[in-house]
Homo-oligomer: A and B are copies of this chain.
Amino acid sequence: MTKSRVTGRPRSETSREAILEAAFRLLVARGYAGFAIEAVAAAAGAGKTTIYRWWRSKAELAVDAFFHATQAELRLPETGSAEADFRAQITELAALLRGERGRALAAMLGGARADPTLAQALGSRWLEPRRRWGVARMTRAAEAGDLRPGVEPDAALAVLYGPLYTPLLFGGEVPGPAAVAAYLDIACAGIFARS
């Protein structure tokens, strides 16, 4: 239990949101390089001190800004068919990555190489929840006998999600719906048993 703070001026919610929104806009518009704390402060009409008070690093701020804009927007579906669930989720994810959020995520992924704390934050807040759902769903599919024999959940997830993220590395575009469907056809053929 954290000791609840009772004295002093409370944190300004207005300022917090202005900062997160300015940060997200800068991230989208100018990439992680142009994402300077001073620029965020100026754009948000906030002081640098306020930013440093609440976010320990550029990394934390970037991740928070991303999630402030993304929220719980992504569904983690659950139908009868594991293949349908993964296809739906990945298709939706691809759509998100093709938009502003994708630009922001790509920008952060760049910064993540230079800043391990950003990599870790992204891993624990973005990747890990999806991964947990994926492993669980894949395991249930295995128990239901829906996977081809010898398919390990980890490897299957790598094959399903890897092709989606890779273009972000080399500055390419996230694949469009047709390309996603095409690679999912292949990946699913390798993973799921056909009745």
Contact = CB atoms under 8 A, between A and B. Distances in A.
Interface in A138-195: 148, 150-152, 154-156, 158-159, 161-166, 168-172, 175, 179, 182-183, 185-191
Main secondary structure of the interface of A (DSSP, over half): helix
Identical chains in the assembly: 4
A127 interface: yes
A99 interface: no
Interface residues of A, number: 49
A31 interface: yes
Contact of A169 (B109, B154, B188, B189): B109
A159 B171 contact: no
Interface string A49-85: 0000000000000000000000000000000000000
A190 B186 contact: yes
Interface string A30-48: 0111000000000000000
Contacts of A115: 33
A159 B159 contact: yes
